[in-house]
Copies of this chain bind each other. A is one copy, B any other.
Amino acid sequence: MIENFEFHNPTRIIFGKGTLPQIGPAIKARGCQRVLLLAGSGSIQKNGVYEAVCQGLKEAGVQWVELWGVRPNPVLSKVREAIELARNNQVEAILAVGGGSVLDSAKVVAAGFYLEDVWEVFERRAAIERALPLFTVLTLSATGSEMNCAAVLTNETGRKKWAVVHPGLFPVASVIDPSVQMSLPWTQTVNGGMDALAHIMEYYFLGRTEEVTIALDEALMRTVIRVVDLLQKDPTDYDSRANLAWSATLALNGISGVALKGGDWATHQIEHGLSACYPEVAHGMGLGILFPAWIQYLQSCNRPQFQRWAREVWNGDSVEAGIANMKATLTRWGAPTSLRQLGITKPELKTIAANACMVGLLGQLKPLALADVESILELAW
């Protein structure tokens, strides 16, 4: 029987070309006058995003303080610095301008503002009770963070890349202007597309009779593949940028997982182990390598659904054909399909597995123990 579910996603999305300045009025509409603007390493100063956002803030009469330097695979120390700054300046909201790393960091800042030690929440020793209102301007579609209430952060000290989920972390409003993504390096476009595919797959393989969600997920996966192919031909194709951006948002805003029991997430946890040990590995790239291995290892647990995936998404008449077509697509996009290609040696797999399994058994379709994870990593190697 299809499981009972709740669906509630209050985030307001402002989407399209030239929409960046609208973040100002959106913040003002919520009654916030002073925000912390959190950003990455400066690319938004080169592509005009920063300027357009500042213009919107000024016109709406919103004041701000800035903190730069959030990096991919964002870390706790930077978040602590931001919380300190937010408190010292008595800001009323957080504004994230960047990709998933900046957005996730901003979520943790918004919650951490009211907590003694926000990492305690990740350790499940404390709970979020409230958070500052959060606003985002998205510059890289991938994580779906702009329309969900989850955040992933790395505690460098313990090499722990963990997630936190709380309804208070939904952004109040998010602005997505796909045209600012036209100048992205190709690998980032591919990694973003792969991240979106992975989010859908984390839910999809738990599907049995949830026909609406299953069919929507297939439509989304096919769309992602189709538009990434189009972007390989023309990275400045606005409509494909827009379709990829909206697909990535829907891939993890709840819609793709309705009634699918919260999703599996083992592959994500293995990837978090991977990039906790090798922070230079991009999240989407790691997922592209790990997912085919996870599928190969788990396919007997819900075979009809894996076969359906192969047929409906990859035009393959068997799970093996589906996996092969997925790998061929990644190769066509210039993405690696094995851990070996990343320069990781076989003995290192045990370290990654141990890191991933720090939190216990992984996943839901079949809860994976350390030996399972090692086997999957070997398949991915």
Please tell me if A344 contacts chain B, counting CB pairs below 8 Å.
no
Are A10 and B13 in contact, CB atoms less than 8 angstroms apart?
Answer: no
How far is B10's CA from A259's CA once the two chains are assembled, in angstroms? 19
How far is B258's CA from A14's CA once the two chains are assembled, in angstroms? 11
Number of copies: 2
Pick from B219, B239, B246: contact of A218, CB below 8 A: B219
Are A1 and B238 in contact, CB atoms less than 8 angstroms apart?
Answer: yes
Please tell me if A220 contacts chain B, counting CB pairs below 8 Å.
yes
Pick from B6, B11, B12, B18: contact of A13, CB below 8 A: B6
* Residues on B with beta carbons closer than 8 Å to the beta carbon of A239: 1-2, 209-211
Pick from B6, B9, B212, B247: contact of A243, CB below 8 A: B212
Within 8 A of B (CB), among A246-285: 246-247, 250, 255, 258-259
Pick from B18, B215, B238, B242: contact of A220, CB below 8 A: B215
* Residues on B with beta carbons closer than 8 Å to the beta carbon of A247: 212
Please tell me if A233 contacts chain B, counting CB pairs below 8 Å.
no
Please tell me if A125 contacts chain B, counting CB pairs below 8 Å.
no
Q: How many residues of A contact B (CB 8 A)?
A: 43
Are B238 and A2 in contact, CB atoms less than 8 angstroms apart?
Answer: yes
Please tell me if A17 contacts chain B, counting CB pairs below 8 Å.
yes
Identity of the chain B residue whose Cβ is nearest the Cβ of A208 in the assembled complex: B239
* Residues on B with beta carbons closer than 8 Å to the beta carbon of A13: 5-8
Given A6-B13, A6-B15, A15-B259, output 10 extra A-B contacts at Cβ < 8 Å.
A1-B17, A1-B238, A1-B239, A2-B243, A4-B19, A8-B12, A211-B223, A216-B216, A216-B219, A216-B250
30 contacting pairs across A/B (C-beta < 8 A): A1-B239, A2-B16, A2-B238, A2-B243, A3-B16, A4-B19, A5-B15, A5-B16, A6-B12, A6-B13, A6-B14, A7-B12, A8-B10, A8-B11, A8-B12, A9-B9, A15-B259, A210-B239, A211-B226, A212-B219, A212-B246, A212-B247, A212-B250, A215-B219, A215-B222, A215-B223, A216-B216, A216-B219, A218-B219, A246-B259
